[in-house]
A and B are shown apart, each in its own frame.
Chain A
Amino acid sequence: MGIEKTTPSGQVLYTPAELMVTAAAREIHDGDVIFVGMRLPLLGFQLAKSTHAPNAVGVYELGIVRDTAAPEPILTMGDLPNLYRSQWLADTADVMGLLQQGLVDMSFIGGAQVDRFGNLNTSYIGPSGRPSTRLPGSGGACDLACLAKRHIIIMTHEKRRFVPKVDYITSPGYGDGPNWRKRIGLPRGGPARVITTLGVLRFDSQSREMVLASTHPGVSIADVLDSTGWPLLVASDIQETPVPTADELSTLRQFDPDGFWTG
């Protein structure tokens, strides 16, 4: 893709997707068991494994557990390099069993629509009986949002996607606020971060409402507020999202050499 690594003045250049993948990878702690999703999370896990989290374990819903990065670039979790010398090739129900037991530290999911409590919709825009738009559906996202110790949402930040109330809850966040998850029977978890094209958001520990924690370089708080469909809370200690290091970028580009996901 010919992405320049630095400007003549030495500034590191990156694409928005590379910033998002790097932010996602940094949420993975060494030794974590991670339920890895499609698209950017696929790269985030590869990046974390190859940099700061060499002991992380990746669990994939189609029935794969890996404790090494796949040896060659992959576009789907079922690409053959992702099966090669994996720790376990198994049934979906078995890897989902690890999740259901509470053994998965973190998962990543994407969404089309999200609300202020982190409820995600990837199923229907409009009523489910006669939708204006049918989206692909849950896949494993609902399971990951229900059963991981925490999950991270990755999505495009636009007003039509950040809505006061989602049309359909595919993957539960904090429902209508404090104690909702416990009340409806979910054993644990909830969204920890939302990594978007504009910034990173977290959830208030009391109200469970989304709070803007950082903006990406070149993005203003006003940009984010304009792209959010409700009066978004802003953290008092709001920061700028750390940019990828040259080392992270060169590692990441080995896993996505043609920029299929991050170009």
Chain B
Amino acid sequence: MPDSKQMTLTAAISRFVPDGASVAMGLAQEILIPFAAGHEIIRQNKKGLTLIGPISDILFDQIIGSGCVQKICAAWIGNVITGSAYNFRQAVENGEIRMEDHSNLTLATGLRAGAMGIPYMPTRSALGSDLFESNASLKRIICPFTGDTLTAVAAITPDVTVVHVQRADIFGNAHFWGNLGITREACLASKQIIITAEEIVSPEVISSDPNRVFTPGFRVSAVVHAPWGAHPSPAPGYYNRDHQAFVDYQQTSKTAVDYACWRSRWVDAVHGSDDYVKLMGKDRTNTLALTKGVYSEPVNYGY
């Protein structure tokens, strides 16, 4: 029997996200963004982080606003339904953070190279763009077989990848359903993996459907029980997207003072998921929680 990897969110972030770490998060784009884990990074006042992700909606802006970040390696940073994000804009415009500009495909390609254990992988994207100007990990190469010009993307190997999922066991085996984004590449390419989960279930539940496992459990460092841990992003099978929270964040993060108020209420005053659920309020959780189940047909894994 392996040792349990379950721990508190505080312990997981403290142990596996040191200052200066490169952290991949928000890998399925709009769904299952690990907001609870991101807020714990803010509470622990981490410094000098590199954030890696395709489009992490407002999570990256929230972490940038607390001065935790020195570099961003991403394709798009903002608020998906309202546009620009203020902390991110200001930090780049003031020269406080460095950018490594990717497209979604170049980021996926770099992580896939990392996952495959090779130094780079080619793509046909980005040629003719200025991404080369603001991302030194992209280089033009000539294909040795066809003579075509291609973009080589250097392998990306995050120090730690944080993924929020529907259910996990205490040993790091977990199920994720919905669109995957670059979740699998990021986990496989990463040195450490932190899983936060809506539910902790028995190992038999996970092993009953290994096709739904997105990364092998032996590679996972920590498992955290974090119900509502993706709110306000949606969690398939658990809750819908809280659009109003994204609109509200846009309104309450326009200045340093506004952001400090937001942070004090939604981050500093929260110690664990019970606090968070209480803060959300019954009306909100009742509205967002899925009430009717729509289940897939079981598959037969017999032998």
Please encode chain A, from 125 to 145, with 1 for each CB lying within 8 Å of some chain B CB and 0 for all others: 000101111111111111100
Instruction: Report the bound CA distance from A31 to B129 in whole Å.
Output: 30
Please encode chain B, from 131 to 144, with 1 for each CB lying within 8 Å of some chain A CB and 0 for all others: 10110000010000
Residues 78 to 124 of chain B near chain A (Cβ within 8 Å): 78, 80-81, 83-85, 88-89, 92-93, 95, 99, 101-106, 108-109, 112, 123-124
Q: Majority SS of interface residues in chain A?
A: loop
A234 contacts partner chain B, Cβ-Cβ < 8 Å: no
A199 contacts partner chain B, Cβ-Cβ < 8 Å: no
A168 contacts partner chain B, Cβ-Cβ < 8 Å: yes
The contact of B76 among A64, A139, A184, by CB within 8 Å, is: A139
B125 contacts partner chain A, Cβ-Cβ < 8 Å: yes
Instruction: Report the bound CA distance from A38 to B79 in whole Å.
Output: 12
A226 contacts partner chain B, Cβ-Cβ < 8 Å: no
Please encode chain A, from 43 to 75, with 1 for each CB lying within 8 Å of some chain B CB and 0 for all others: 000000000000000001111100000000001
Please encode chain A, from 64 to 97, with 1 for each CB lying within 8 Å of some chain B CB and 0 for all others: 1000000000011111100110000111110010
Most chain B Cβ neighbours within 10 Å, of A91, A168, A184, A260: A91
Q: A61-B29, A62-B179, A123-B130 are in contact. Are A135 and B84 (CB under 8 A)?
A: yes
The contact of B30 among A78, A181, A187, by CB within 8 Å, is: A78
Q: Is the CB of A76 within 8 A of B81?
A: yes
**What is the CB-to-nearest-CB distance from A212 to chain B, in angstroms, rounded to a whole number?**
25
Q: A89-B179, A128-B134, A143-B104 are in contact. Are A184 and B85 (CB under 8 A)?
A: no
A185 contacts partner chain B, Cβ-Cβ < 8 Å: yes
Most chain A Cβ neighbours within 10 Å, of B80, B95, B150, B290: B80
Residues 14 to 64 of chain A near chain B (Cβ within 8 Å): 38, 60-64
Most chain A Cβ neighbours within 10 Å, of B85, B124, B177: B124
Q: Is the CB of A138 within 8 A of B131?
A: yes
Q: Is the CB of A93 within 8 A of B131?
A: no
Residues of A contacting B294 in the complex (Cβ-Cβ under 8 angstroms) = 84
Residues of A contacting B83 in the complex (Cβ-Cβ under 8 angstroms) = 136
Residues of A contacting B88 in the complex (Cβ-Cβ under 8 angstroms) = 134
Q: Which of A5-13, A170-178, A247-255 contacts B (4 or more CB under 8 A)?
A: A170-178
On chain B, the number of residues with a Cβ less than 8 Å from chain A's Cβ atoms is: 63
A146 contacts partner chain B, Cβ-Cβ < 8 Å: yes
Residues of B contacting A139 in the complex (Cβ-Cβ under 8 angstroms) = 54-55, 75-76, 103-104
Q: A77-B30, A80-B240, A184-B149 are in contact. Are A93 and B185 (CB under 8 A)?
A: yes
Nearest-neighbor residue (CB-CB) of A137 within chain B: B76
Q: Is the CB of A90 within 8 A of B74?
A: no
Q: Is the CB of A92 within 8 A of B181?
A: yes
Q: Is the CB of A91 within 8 A of B182?
A: yes
B41 contacts partner chain A, Cβ-Cβ < 8 Å: no
Residues of A contacting B181 in the complex (Cβ-Cβ under 8 angstroms) = 62-63, 91-92
Please encode chain A, from 163 to 191, with 1 for each CB lying within 8 Å of some chain B CB and 0 for all others: 00000111110010000110011110000
Residues 52 to 85 of chain B near chain A (Cβ within 8 Å): 54-55, 74-78, 80-81, 83-85
Residues of A contacting B241 in the complex (Cβ-Cβ under 8 angstroms) = 75-76, 78-80
Most chain B Cβ neighbours within 10 Å, of A96, A133, A172, A187: A96
Instruction: Report the bound CA distance from A233 to B179 in whole Å.
Output: 43
Q: Is the CB of A134 within 8 A of B92?
A: yes
A147 contacts partner chain B, Cβ-Cβ < 8 Å: yes
Q: Is the CB of B128 within 8 A of A92?
A: no
**What is the CB-to-nearest-CB distance from B83 to chain A, in angstroms, rounded to a whole number?**
7
Residues of A contacting B130 in the complex (Cβ-Cβ under 8 angstroms) = 123, 128, 168-170
**What is the CB-to-nearest-CB distance from A25 to chain B, in angstroms, rounded to a whole number?**
20
The contact of B180 among A92, A142, A171, by CB within 8 Å, is: A92
Nearest-neighbor residue (CB-CB) of A72 within chain B: B240
Q: A128-B134, A140-B105, A185-B127 are in contact. Are A83 and B240 (CB under 8 A)?
A: no
Instruction: Report the bound CA distance from A197 to B250 in whole Å.
Output: 25
Residues of A contacting B102 in the complex (Cβ-Cβ under 8 angstroms) = 138
B47 contacts partner chain A, Cβ-Cβ < 8 Å: no
Q: Is the CB of B74 within 8 A of A172?
A: no
B271 contacts partner chain A, Cβ-Cβ < 8 Å: no
Residues of B contacting A131 in the complex (Cβ-Cβ under 8 angstroms) = 92-93
Q: Is the CB of A184 within 8 A of B127?
A: yes
A100 contacts partner chain B, Cβ-Cβ < 8 Å: yes
The contact of A38 among B80, B148, B149, by CB within 8 Å, is: B80
Q: Is the CB of B128 within 8 A of A172?
A: yes
Residues of B contacting A185 in the complex (Cβ-Cβ under 8 angstroms) = 124, 127-128, 140, 148-150
B206 contacts partner chain A, Cβ-Cβ < 8 Å: no
Q: A89-B179, A134-B93 are in contact. Are A181 and B108 (CB under 8 A)?
A: no
Spell out A's residues near B (CB within 8 Å): 38, 60-64, 75-80, 83-84, 89-93, 96, 99-100, 123-124, 128, 130-143, 146-147, 168-172, 175, 180-181, 184-187, 260
- Known contacts A136-B78, A186-B127; 4 additional CB pairs below 8 A are A91-B183, A92-B182, A123-B134, A142-B105
The 3 A-B residue pairs with the shortest CB-CB distance, nearest first, are A78-B30, A185-B149, A139-B76
A-B contact pairs, 9 of them (CB 8 A): A78-B234, A96-B108, A100-B105, A131-B92, A132-B93, A137-B77, A139-B75, A142-B126, A147-B125
